[in-house]
Amino acid sequence: MLLRGDVCLIVYQKPARIERTRWLFDVLDAALDDNELCLLGLLIVLPTSDPPDGPTRQENHFRLRKLEHRVKRLVTTPVGDAFKLSVVRAVMRGLNIVLGHSGTRFITDTVQEGINQLLEVKTRETPTATQILTDLRAIYIALGEPDPKFAEVRAAS
């Protein structure tokens, strides 16, 4: 995970389990504790990740409810084969419906589309597309993943 400006980049490489979810939300809570930022989040789910189990789904639901007023947009981009993509899409759509966030939560097919979705609601705190791509590459490399070859992202006006 990396926070820069009002953008939070998350790359899920391992199974979504409660200890990882709690760590993630604890970091977000601390980062938001002393400011008024509303986050733009990009969650990339790699093929090596697994969907959340029951306790983790409950924790996600509870913690997202707590932060919902501080999340301006959350975009999820699953990476992998068709089956994995459909599972991630189903989980995220279900969570978005339960939380009532269909207008601020999106699922995209590519990382580039995900960044474009974020930049549609950018603020003066939002890093550039180039910076977001640089940060994502750094996260991938820190996780021991191959250097991703992202296509160019169109500039949002």
> Domain with 70 in it: what CATH number?
3.30.750.24
Q: Which residues contact 47 (CB under 8 A, 6 or more apart)?
A: 79, 80, 81, 84
Q: Is residue 111 part of a domain?
A: yes
Give one DSSP letter per residue of 74-135, joined into a string. Answer: EEEEE-S-HHHHHHHHHHHHHHHHHHT-TTTEEE-SSHHHHHHHHHTT--TTSPPHHHHHHH
Rounded distance between C-alpha atoms, residue 47 and residue 148, angstroms: 14
Rounded distance between C-alpha atoms, residue 131 and residue 118, angstroms: 13
Q: Is residue 148 part of a domain?
A: no
pLDDT given for residue 109 in this prediction: 84
pTM, two decimal places: 0.85
Rounded distance between C-alpha atoms, residue 87 and residue 89, angstroms: 5
Rounded distance between C-alpha atoms, residue 136 and residue 40, angstroms: 14
Question: Which residue from 115, 84, 71 is spatially nearest to 16, judged by alpha carbons?
Answer: 84
pLDDT truncated to tens, each residue of the chain (157 aa)?
999 999 999 999 999 899 999 999 999 999 899 888 899 999 999 989 888 899 998 998 899 889 888 999 999 888 877 666 676 667 666 665 555 555 678 888 889 999 999 999 999 999 999 999 999 999 999 999 998 888 777 655 4
Q: Is residue 20 part of a domain?
A: yes
pLDDT given for residue 153 in this prediction: 72
pLDDT given for residue 99 in this prediction: 56
pLDDT given for residue 157 in this prediction: 47
For residue 19, the one-letter residue type is: E
Q: Is residue 72 part of a domain?
A: yes
Q: Is residue 115 part of a domain?
A: yes
For residues 24 and 59, the answer to whether their CB atoms sit within 8 Å is no
HSE of 75 in the Cβ direction (CA atoms, 13 Å)? 21
pLDDT given for residue 52 in this prediction: 86
Q: Is residue 156 part of a domain?
A: no
Q: Is residue 154 part of a domain?
A: no
Task: Please count the structural domains in the chain.
Answer: 1
Range of the domain at 39: 2-142
